[in-house]
């Protein structure tokens, strides 16, 4: 019997990113890909394609198909901007100095509290569109510029609303433990009470967050305070992620690994023991070279050790108004290679397969494989190494979101 399918793509090379296929890209050259009901139903060498009756066909013209890109760490819903802080930092002030003088995250908190839901939506939309135009089909969005119940809810609802009006999957993360709001000055434990007793339960009740994050750093919250947030999230059945060891070693990574966190993000200052703990717990390392670059950090995350220990390395923009106002996942791939020494194949895995894992979504996306979502990008390139190598001119020829052409 001839199988029907919605779409059949032929004359295409697939960088499947499937680790069970040899080579860093899991490449299948001269492939065919069949899609039905928004999912991949067949993928393999074209000459092995079984008889099939497609409703539509696409000639891939010898181009490369990759999984849709996944940006697993962004703060793209916020009010205002911090251009004046950029100038201060260029003048020699550090990120921490700016934060301690009431600027930094708290300056964005003031602007986000003052913005209406509509203004937040309008400000976030171009950032979202910039990521989507480069082939991002799943994007994580954090709150954390509200630091009170109403504004945290406003940010998360804005993220959900963006997903309703754009062909992209958005996962949301509540980052209420991002900074101490001014009204709780000197009372951080009481603010953590508010996070655990009011904000997270309300967010969970409205199903507004898919995960919970926290900023564990001397300018934010201690390991003990973050552990309380983790315990609360886990009682609410929400997975956790941690902004860890960005500015100094705090013990956040060890705590996150003990708590089976999905990911630890930044991790410039982790130790060998932290790497071992991550390898043991399967916690993903989310590398954020754009924040490293913007803050002119010199301490590198220990890439060689992470690689040698088999820790899964994801790569993300960290798109935010302070440490990375850069809405380009492709630039992050290039920075991941040039600044952190990733291979181009590791960079692509970092924004596909490993990013899916950092979001707890590796059962549905991140790899081109039958049974997974047909979120895919067709690129006019001769080798997938070009994705990390070139910035600016190489654009998607076509973007598929759940099998539907949505851009390119
Ligand atoms: O991931 N580190 C904390 N949060 C963001 C920066 C937020 C900001 O500066 O507004 C980050 O770098
Ligand atoms: Fe961040």
Lowest mean pLDDT across 63-72, 95-104, 319-328: 95-104
On whether both 371 and 320 belong to a single domain, the answer is: no
Instruction: Provide the pLDDT for residue 408.
Output: 86
- Report CA(158)–ligand 2 centroid distance (Å): 18
On whether both 306 and 320 belong to a single domain, the answer is: yes
Residue 79 CB–ligand 1 contact under 6 Å: no
Residue 243 CB–ligand 1 contact under 6 Å: yes
On whether both 352 and 377 belong to a single domain, the answer is: no
Q: Which residue has the tokens 């997270």?
A: 200
Residue 291 CB–ligand 1 contact under 6 Å: yes
On whether both 123 and 251 belong to a single domain, the answer is: yes
Q: What is the band of 47 on the pLDDT scale with cuts at 50, 70, 90? A: very high
> Which ligand has an atom closest to residue 325 CA?
1
On whether both 94 and 50 belong to a single domain, the answer is: no
Candidate from 213, 295, 318 with most ligand 1 atoms within 8 A of CB, to mutate: 318
Q: Distances in Å between the alpha carbon of 141 and those of 71, 123, 209, 297? A: 9, 14, 10, 24
The answer to whether the CB of 70 falls within 8 A of the CB of 138 is yes
Instruction: Provide the pLDDT for residue 119.
Output: 98
Eight-class DSSP state of 363 = T
Residue in 404, 398, 402 with CA at minimum distance from that of residue 133: 398
Per-residue pLDDT tens over the stretch 166-216: 999 999 999 999 999 999 999 999 999 999 999 999 999 999 999 999 999
Instruction: Provide the pLDDT for residue 321.
Output: 98
Indicate the number of domains in the chain: 2
What backbone torsions phi and psi does residue 326 show, to the nearest 5 degrees?
-130, 110
Is 88's pLDDT higher than 60? Answer: yes
On whether both 275 and 381 belong to a single domain, the answer is: no
Closest approach atom of ligand 1 to CA 295: 12
On whether both 103 and 45 belong to a single domain, the answer is: no
On whether both 58 and 75 belong to a single domain, the answer is: no
Question: 400: domain CATH number?
Answer: 2.30.40.10
Is 2's pLDDT higher than 80? Answer: no
- Report CA(388)–ligand 1 centroid distance (Å): 24
Q: Which domain holds residue 103?
A: 69-358
Closest approach atom of ligand 1 to CA 321: 10
Q: Distances in Å between the alpha carbon of 153 and those of 156, 169, 175, 200, 360? A: 5, 19, 11, 10, 22
Eight-class DSSP state of 196 = I
Residues annotated within the binding site for N-formimidoyl-L-glutamate are: 145, 320, 322
Mean pLDDT of the chain: 97
Per-residue pLDDT tens over the stretch 280-328: 999 999 999 999 999 999 999 999 999 999 999 999 999 999 999 999 9
Distance from C-alpha of 295 to C-alpha of 322, rounded to nearest angstrom: 9
Torsion angle (degrees, nearest 10) of CA 173, 175, 176, 181: -150
Closest approach atom of ligand 1 to CA 78: 10
Residue 321 CB–ligand 1 contact under 6 Å: yes
Question: 202: domain CATH number?
Answer: 3.20.20.140
Q: Which residue has the tokens 């609360």?
A: 232
Residue 144 CB–ligand 1 contact under 6 Å: no
Is 399's pLDDT higher than 70? Answer: yes
Residue 67 CB–ligand 1 contact under 6 Å: no
- Report CA(246)–ligand 1 centroid distance (Å): 9
On whether both 52 and 95 belong to a single domain, the answer is: no
Is 103's pLDDT higher than 80? Answer: yes
Instruction: Provide the pLDDT for residue 150.
Output: 98
On whether both 291 and 245 belong to a single domain, the answer is: yes
On whether both 326 and 262 belong to a single domain, the answer is: yes
Candidate from 218, 323, 332 with most ligand 1 atoms within 8 A of CB, to mutate: 323
Residue 317 CB–ligand 1 contact under 6 Å: no
Q: Look at phi and psi of residue 56 and say left if phi exceeds 0, alpha if psi is from -120 to 50, else beta.
A: beta
Distance from C-alpha of 68 to C-alpha of 374, rounded to nearest angstrom: 8
Q: What is the band of 24 on the pLDDT scale with cuts at 50, 70, 90? A: very high
pLDDT exceeding 70 applies to what percent of the chain?
100
Instruction: Provide the pLDDT for residue 167.
Output: 98
Residues annotated within the binding site for Zn(2+) are: 73, 75, 243, 318
- Report CA(319)–ligand 2 centroid distance (Å): 7
- Report CA(372)–ligand 1 centroid distance (Å): 32
The answer to whether the CB of 321 falls within 8 A of the CB of 299 is no
**What ipTM does the predicted assembly reach?**
0.96
The answer to whether the CB of 203 falls within 8 A of the CB of 152 is yes
Is 353's pLDDT higher than 90? Answer: yes
On whether both 83 and 116 belong to a single domain, the answer is: yes
Instruction: Provide the pLDDT for residue 3.
Output: 87
Q: What is the band of 348 on the pLDDT scale with cuts at 50, 70, 90? A: very high
Instruction: Provide the pLDDT for residue 407.
Output: 87
Is 1's pLDDT higher than 60? Answer: no
Is 241's pLDDT higher than 90? Answer: yes
Is 58's pLDDT higher than 90? Answer: yes
- Report CA(287)–ligand 1 centroid distance (Å): 13
């Amino acid at each position: 019997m001839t199988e029907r399918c919605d779409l059949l793509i032929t004359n295409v090379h697939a960088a499947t990113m499937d680790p069970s296929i040899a080579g860093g890209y899991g490449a299948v050259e001269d492939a065919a890909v069949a899609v039905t009901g928004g999912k991949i139903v067949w993928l393999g060498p074209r000459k092995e394609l079984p008889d099939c009756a497609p409703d539509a066909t696409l000639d891939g013209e010898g181009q490369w198909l990759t999984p849709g890109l996944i940006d697993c760490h962004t703060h793209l819903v916020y009010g205002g901007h911090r251009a004046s802080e950029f100038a201060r930092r260029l003048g020699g002030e550090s990120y921490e100095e700016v934060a301690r003088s009431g600027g930094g995250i708290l300056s964005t908190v003031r602007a986000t509290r003052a913005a209406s839901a509509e203004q937040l939506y309008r400000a976030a939309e171009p950032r979202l569109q910039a990521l989507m135009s480069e082939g991002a089909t799943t994007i994580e969005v954090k709150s954390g510029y509200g630091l009170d119940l109403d504004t945290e809810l406003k940010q998360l609802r804005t993220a959900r609303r963006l997903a309703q009006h754009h062909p992209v999957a958005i996962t949301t993360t509540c980052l209420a433990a991002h900074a101490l709001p001014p009204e709780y000055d000197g009372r951080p434990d009481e603010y953590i009470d508010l996070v655990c007793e009011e904000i997270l339960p309300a967010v969970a009740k409205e199903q507004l967050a898919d995960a919970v994050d926290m900023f564990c750093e001397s300018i934010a919250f201690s390991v003990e305070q973050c552990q309380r947030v983790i315990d609360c999230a886990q009682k609410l059945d929400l997975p956790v992620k941690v902004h860890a060891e960005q500015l100094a070693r705090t013990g956040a990574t060890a705590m996150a690994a003990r708590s089976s966190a999905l990911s630890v993000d930044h991790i410039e200052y982790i130790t060998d023991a932290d790497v071992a703990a991550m390898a043991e717990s399967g916690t993903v390392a989310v590398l954020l070279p754009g924040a490293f670059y913007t803050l002119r950090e010199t301490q590198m995350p220990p890439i060689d050790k992470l690689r040698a220990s088999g820790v899964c390395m994801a790569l993300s923009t960290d798109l935010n108004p302070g440490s990375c106002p850069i809405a380009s996942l492709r630039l992050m791939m290039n920075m991941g290679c040039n600044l952190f020494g990733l291979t181009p194949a590791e960079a692509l895995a970092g924004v596909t397969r490993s990013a899916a894992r950092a979001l707890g979504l590796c059962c549905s996306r991140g790899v081109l494989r039958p049974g997974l979502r047909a979120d895919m990008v067709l690129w006019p390139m001769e080798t997938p190494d070009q994705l990390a190598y070139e910035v600016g001119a190489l654009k998607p020829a076509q973007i598929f979101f759940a099998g539907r052409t949505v851009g390119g």
